[in-house]
Structure 1
Amino acid sequence: MSQYRPADYRNTGPESLPAVESIPLSERGLPPSTYQLFCDLAERYEDRVALRFLMQGTPDETPTDYSYRELCQRITQTANALHHLGVGATDTIGILLPNLPQTEFALWGGEAAGIINPINPLLEVEHIAAILNDTACPVLITLAPFPGTELWQKALELKTQVPSLHTIITVDPAAFLPAGMRDAIDQQRGSYLGDGVLDFDTFISQYNDAGLDSGRQITQTDIASYFHTGGTTGTPKLAPHNHLNELACAFQISTACNMEEGYVILIGLPLFHVNAVFTGLSAWMCGGEVLLATPQGYRSPEVMKNFWPLVEKYQVTLFSAVPTILSGLLNFPTAGFDLSSLKFAVCGAAPLATELARQFEKQTGLVLVEGYGQTEGTCVSTLNPRFGDRFIGSVGAPVPYLKIRIVEVDEKTGALLRDCDTNEAGIIAISGPNVFNGYKHPEQNEGQWIEPGWFNTGDLGRLDERGYLWLTGRSKDLIIRGGHNIDPQMIEEALFQHDAVAAAAAVGKPDPRVGELPAAYVQLKPGADVSETELLAFCEEHIPERAAVPKRILFIDAMPLTAVGKIFKPDLRNHITELTVSEVLAELGVKSYGLNVRIDKQHGQAVTVTLTDSSQAHAVKEALGQYAFKSEVA
């Protein structure tokens, strides 16, 4: 049994929380830092496999394994290498990497030396440079030149745009390939080391693996990481996590999921995202094993194609995914594979369509645990219980030691007005040991705290009689595409640069595969004439984040406005949902129907279709069930 997870706790729902919370978290024996956790785990589990890496994602390849002792040694060497580069406790290490073992070494070794800043490799250079400049980053760890990747070229551009950046440490994925392939890649790329560019493996191998050369005594209140979050402006917000935030989060996940020693968790989500980072840490906290499935994770066709064979071969216990991954896995039958090791799957980061959840559980026989969280809460706030009542559509109950309130706030100041009643929708506020203390820049914290210690998530929801949370909307207006947060203002600001545009409003267009796709409503200036094709091309040129480029531009005579003159986006969301549903019905050959799209206080966006021909009801229900909005067919 893990030394951290309560031995006698079984998560059956909100009613079981008092049992675990009767002992204060401060008495649970959590170490002072993530580094000390790895030292303790190495001493406890020694040669047990901690990390297993698959370069290609095929069942017949030989994995690269690291024991708990070896993992701690690599983390220690990384920390010492960074220390000898001059990285101190308040310095930032930028990490721009796919999923590799060295990414894990960099994450946790970086926290032992200074403050890590994992960055989405798919962001454009300008966006990455803004993040690195915000932290005055001196060291960037990224990918060596490698076929089919752009990170090395991005790193060269960043070196000219980030004045503080003096060292680039490169990780070479070719090290995991057969000798012949490595030689071919070396010949193709030529020399790239030198002049402030180092090779990760060669560099860290020079340093002590038995303890921190810095002698640093890390405390739970020291800042461990900066994770960037889109927020509601075009400038990235940096959310600092201290060591207690991260340790508490790992404890909460492992406890709420009732993880046990020997659990194998497959990581396919990217390691710049809090989900992958802290679900992995929670498995290690319990003496489990992390299976890192290729540098691309779920983006690798091989991983998706071989997912069930990999589960069988490596006896995977659980995995975490977003709805788009679950939808993709439905294309690969489970028949013929022994999946008895698989206990459950966790889904979060984007709304889960009811029909998708039902189909996935039916086809796989798995328990699907839906959760909810945010970067500001380190990772997770709620999870459905494995052993209690799970309600499809609910994101579950608070994890241990995390408190939730549903409140009404002043729209201008963010000040608390009142707590909402049971089943009354309002703003979701969270408080707990995993909740950060505020964004890096003080001005970004204005209106974010309803009371000291209580963070306004910007999400809308309700708590039912038993304490389960149901999401009803997002006041932040973020567009969530396959778990990736897209800032609508980024799209709107780009469109405003066009001479013909008088007003622009970006919203999410419902999509059965990725949840939402970016779309924009545009009001033209009097006398202006421009086509949708021209504006889409303009967006491609002026929006730095590719995933944020809208898929549709819809022209509107006048924007719907609130009493104070703000664009009223709920009307636009209802309109684009109505268009989407109409397209679905047209594809099904439904010609006569009534359609009502609205914002429901309990369920968020809701759709009711009234059919003239009831024989079409089943097909319509099945089609609309693929979307995240609540649908009813009459």
Structure 2
Amino acid sequence: MLATTHYDFGRPIVALRDVEAFEQVPLSERGLPGSTYEVLARGASIAPDQPALSFFLRADDFRDPFVWTHAELLADITRTANALRRLGIGRKDVVAFVLPNLPETHFVIWGGEAAGIAFAINPLLEAEQISELLVTGKAKWLVTLAPFPGTDIWQKAIQAAANAPDLQGVLTVSLAPYLGNSAADVPQVFDGVAVPVLSLHQEMAGEPGDRLTFETPKAEDTSSYLCTGGTTGLPKIAARTHFSEVFDAWSSLSFIGDAFAPGKAIFCGLPLFHVNGQLVTGLIPWAQGAHVVMGTHQGYRGEGIISSFWEIVEHYRVVAFSGVPTVYSALLQVPVGGRDISSIRYGFCGAAPMPVELFRNFEKATGVRILEAYGLTEGACVSSVNPPEGERRIGSIGLRLPYQQMAVVRLDESGGFTGFSGTEEIGVLAIRGPNVFAGYINPEHNNGVWLEIDGQRWLNTGDLARQVADGYFWLTGRKKELIIRSGHNIDPKLIENAVQDHPAVQLAAAVGRPDVRAGELPVLYVQLKPEMTASEADLLAHAVGRIPERAAHPKSVRVLAALPITSVGKIFKPALSMLEIEDVVRQEAASAGVKLESLSVVQDARLGLLATIATKGDPGPLREKLGQYAFKAQFL
């Protein structure tokens, strides 16, 4: 039996005027839930017996998944919350999880938020980094994967746990039941572990699933910790509130409308330690009673997922999925063939810029409409999106969410607000609204994050953007200089610090090199000390040996006589990015058999870094190749 949906948004938002009209009703009168747990409870009441979550561990098993109805999913989340509270997780206590994509990961995220604070940690990190995060976040309990062949998550997590003084225990989740061995999920004895090691399912078993045994969280309570400022590098932990997540999910639905409804399936392939995986393919569809299909514990990286994707879409009648540009690039290599994928209404894309040619080629080959959006952990998840029922503009991040302000601003050299940018004028992107986070848990990390504008606090996103007259926003660069490799944020400082202790190195700067498959690859530029020598191979080996995260390993090291610097003595990284773009253009021209007459890369006021190219003869083959990259190219 289906209940009436709790979210009636009226006609879809198609333009800025609709956003403004929607805001005429005060947000306080909208009746939003007070916590993420209440969002899930309301969503479950819409269609309690309809499927909420389908999971298969191996791509070959996608036709025979493990399935939870909405009532069953809410019950398991409730049992998890009650177990965590019994184990000592209070409202301000932290339960960390180092898990791949599993149903239990969702139990811990939402059950952890109901009981205390859920702290997501990337399972691809090394033990030393995990330990540092556990210590910084003051985690009281850790949930991680039990020992299993082919994965080292347990080994890393337990090594990290040994150095976390606030930790009181470890809960394990086993993959064995998903392989037909339910007896494997029992408590085990682990030598050398100083804290209790318990089975999550064993602890859940004795708890009620029909009610919380404690008071539900309040809107202003901290709900979650997530790492930001780069998924590699030093910990920078963002604290979010229940209402920031609730509001972001609800406001995003004002654009999506009835696409997520009981019986409608959305595919989850992005990691659940990331906000996109948690909200776009979790809380948002479940708020409407929709069905999430979770493919393997490795998501899109799982063996056979990409090659079987269109079969999975056809089988589940998937209406939407979310991916980064590299996912779309990989899917473009898999022919749709005779598969019926007409159910797909949208493909969401964020985390990195979508190359124009990839956008066009994907839509042409598949018929799937891509919706580019913008968001950040500090803004809960989504801040703007191209309206599904309105005009989608390639390269734009769309319109702002209702009730969230978004503006392009001018800042002085000290980072202070001096005014709002004019139409088409590039400035720093700032947001203000209920979705904005509470701040970083380390007070030092909050320096420069907030802007004071007319007595109100705005978040400085660190991104550069421009806005056109009808409200659409366009990103033009990243002031915060993160390198985005396959949607994986890399802090350049991690790479730079790894080579700074080399006796021959005076200065170092890491930037992203455009790449067709990964979006960007890290490269390292070095200036040597006077009269010192070092080979690029030696410097590369030195850096790689000191960077624990493989994704952050630089692909190459380039030694320059002098790194470019600004008038105040700072390294001018855009000049290095220009060198990389120029090198990419020359390589692609050579592979396409196109001779260059002239080539320059400039900082364009509207388009950001722009390659201006003149060729001898037909530029067509080179134009086609460069269309696969995110940077802009102009042929003379």
TM-score, L = length of structure 1:
0.96
Whether the aligned pair in 2 keeps the contact of 1:239 and 1:439 (CA below 8 Å) is: yes
| 2:439 aligned counterpart, secondary structure | coil
Q: Distance in 2 between matches of 1:212 and 1:37?
A: 14
How much has 1:576 moved relative to structure 2?
1.4
Question: What one-letter code is carried by the residue in structure 2 that aligns with 1:424?
Answer: E
How much has 1:159 moved relative to structure 2?
2.0
Quickly say closer, same or farther: Cα 1:24–1:78, change in 2 above 3 A: same
How much has 1:474 moved relative to structure 2?
0.7
Quickly say closer, same or farther: Cα 1:240–1:510, change in 2 above 3 A: same
Question: What one-letter code is carried by the residue in structure 1 that aligns with 2:498?
Answer: A
| Structure 2 unmatched ranges of 5 or more | none
**1:585 is aligned to 2:589:** yes
| Structure 1 unmatched ranges of 5 or more | none
* Counterpart in the other structure of 1:209: 209
**1:57 is aligned to 2:52:** no
How much has 1:587 moved relative to structure 2?
1.4
Query: Mean Cα displacement is larger for which, 349-358 or 247-256?
Result: 247-256
| 1:301 aligned counterpart, secondary structure | coil
Which one of the candidate residues 13, 16, 29 is aligned to 2:15?
Answer: 13
**1:378 is aligned to 2:352:** no
How much has 1:166 moved relative to structure 2?
2.1
Quickly say closer, same or farther: Cα 1:231–1:53, change in 2 above 3 A: closer
* Counterpart in the other structure of 2:391: 389
Counting only pairs closer than 5 Å after superposition, residues 285-304 of structure 1 correspond to structure 2 as: 285-304=287-306
Question: What one-letter code is carried by the residue in structure 1 that aligns with 2:248?
Answer: C
Q: Distance in 1 between matches of 2:329 and 2:250?
A: 29
* Counterpart in the other structure of 1:417: 418
| 2:267 aligned counterpart, secondary structure | strand
Counting only pairs closer than 5 Å after superposition, residues 454-465 of structure 1 correspond to structure 2 as: 454-465=458-469
How much has 1:218 moved relative to structure 2?
1.4
Whether the aligned pair in 2 keeps the contact of 1:52 and 1:65 (CA below 8 Å) is: yes
Q: Distance in 1 between matches of 2:437 and 2:427?
A: 22
* Counterpart in the other structure of 2:167: 165
Counting only pairs closer than 5 Å after superposition, residues 297-446 of structure 1 correspond to structure 2 as: 297-412=299-414, 414-446=415-447
* Counterpart in the other structure of 1:448: 449
**1:527 is aligned to 2:531:** yes
Whether the aligned pair in 2 keeps the contact of 1:233 and 1:489 (CA below 8 Å) is: no
Q: Distance in 1 between matches of 2:389 and 2:411?
A: 35
Quickly say closer, same or farther: Cα 1:284–1:210, change in 2 above 3 A: same
Whether the aligned pair in 1 keeps the contact of 2:58 and 2:303 (CA below 8 Å) is: no
Q: Distance in 2 between matches of 1:169 and 1:619?
A: 56
Q: Give deviations 1:596-619, integer Å, cap 9, x for gaps.
A: 111111111111110111x2x111
How much has 1:498 moved relative to structure 2?
1.1
Quickly say closer, same or farther: Cα 1:619–1:233, change in 2 above 3 A: closer
**1:38 is aligned to 2:40:** yes
Q: Distance in 1 between matches of 2:337 and 2:8?
A: 36
Q: Distance in 1 between matches of 2:614 and 2:17?
A: 40
* Counterpart in the other structure of 2:197: 197
How much has 1:453 moved relative to structure 2?
2.5
* Counterpart in the other structure of 1:612: 616
**1:516 is aligned to 2:520:** yes
Whether the aligned pair in 2 keeps the contact of 1:2 and 1:261 (CA below 8 Å) is: no
How much has 1:168 moved relative to structure 2?
0.9
Identity, % of aligned positions:
44
| 2:59 aligned counterpart, secondary structure | coil
Which one of the candidate residues 138, 141, 147 is aligned to 1:139?
Answer: 141
**1:595 is aligned to 2:595:** no
Q: Distance in 1 between matches of 2:173 and 2:610?
A: 48
Whether the aligned pair in 2 keeps the contact of 1:59 and 1:310 (CA below 8 Å) is: no
Q: Distance in 2 between matches of 1:276 and 1:546?
A: 22
* Counterpart in the other structure of 1:239: 238
Question: What one-letter code is carried by the residue in structure 2 that aligns with 1:313?
Answer: H
Whether the aligned pair in 1 keeps the contact of 2:4 and 2:46 (CA below 8 Å) is: no
How much has 1:7 moved relative to structure 2?
3.8
Whether the aligned pair in 2 keeps the contact of 1:394 and 1:471 (CA below 8 Å) is: yes
Question: What one-letter code is carried by the residue in structure 2 that aligns with 1:23?
Answer: V
Q: Give deviations 1:335-392, integer Å, cap 9, x for gaps.
A: 2001111111100000110000001100010110000111100101111111111111
Q: Distance in 2 between matches of 1:459 and 1:491?
A: 21
How much has 1:579 moved relative to structure 2?
1.1
* Counterpart in the other structure of 2:96: 94
Query: Mean Cα displacement is larger for which, 587-596 or 95-104?
Result: 587-596
Whether the aligned pair in 2 keeps the contact of 1:59 and 1:313 (CA below 8 Å) is: no
Q: Give deviations 1:167-203, integer Å, cap 9, x for gaps.
A: 1111101111134xx78x899x985499611111122
How much has 1:234 moved relative to structure 2?
4.4
| 2:8 aligned counterpart, secondary structure | coil
Which one of the candidate residues 474, 478, 491 is aligned to 2:478?
Answer: 474
* Counterpart in the other structure of 2:131: 129
Question: What one-letter code is carried by the residue in structure 2 that aligns with 1:173?
Answer: L
Q: Distance in 2 between matches of 1:239 and 1:142?
A: 21
Whether the aligned pair in 2 keeps the contact of 1:460 and 1:472 (CA below 8 Å) is: yes
How much has 1:422 moved relative to structure 2?
0.3
How much has 1:36 moved relative to structure 2?
1.9
| 1:619 aligned counterpart, secondary structure | helix
Quickly say closer, same or farther: Cα 1:287–1:186, change in 2 above 3 A: closer
Whether the aligned pair in 1 keeps the contact of 2:496 and 2:508 (CA below 8 Å) is: yes
How much has 1:442 moved relative to structure 2?
2.3
Counting only pairs closer than 5 Å after superposition, residues 17-32 of structure 1 correspond to structure 2 as: 17-32=19-34
Question: What one-letter code is carried by the residue in structure 1 that aligns with 2:372?
Answer: E
Which one of the candidate residues 547, 551, 562 is aligned to 2:551?
Answer: 547
Query: Mean Cα displacement is larger for which, 590-599 or 552-561?
Result: 590-599
Q: Give deviations 1:141-173, integer Å, cap 9, x for gaps.
A: 010111111110012211221111121111101
* Counterpart in the other structure of 2:542: 538
How much has 1:326 moved relative to structure 2?
0.1
- What is the aligned length? 626
* Counterpart in the other structure of 1:48: 50
Question: What one-letter code is carried by the residue in structure 2 that aligns with 1:143?
Answer: L
| 1:249 aligned counterpart, secondary structure | helix
Question: What one-letter code is carried by the residue in structure 2 that aligns with 1:536?
Answer: L
| 1:509 aligned counterpart, secondary structure | strand
Whether the aligned pair in 1 keeps the contact of 2:16 and 2:399 (CA below 8 Å) is: yes
TM-score, L = length of structure 2:
0.95
* Counterpart in the other structure of 1:566: 570
Question: What one-letter code is carried by the residue in structure 2 that aligns with 1:591?
Answer: K
How much has 1:528 moved relative to structure 2?
2.0
| 1:121 aligned counterpart, secondary structure | coil
**1:621 is aligned to 2:623:** yes
| 1:320 aligned counterpart, secondary structure | strand
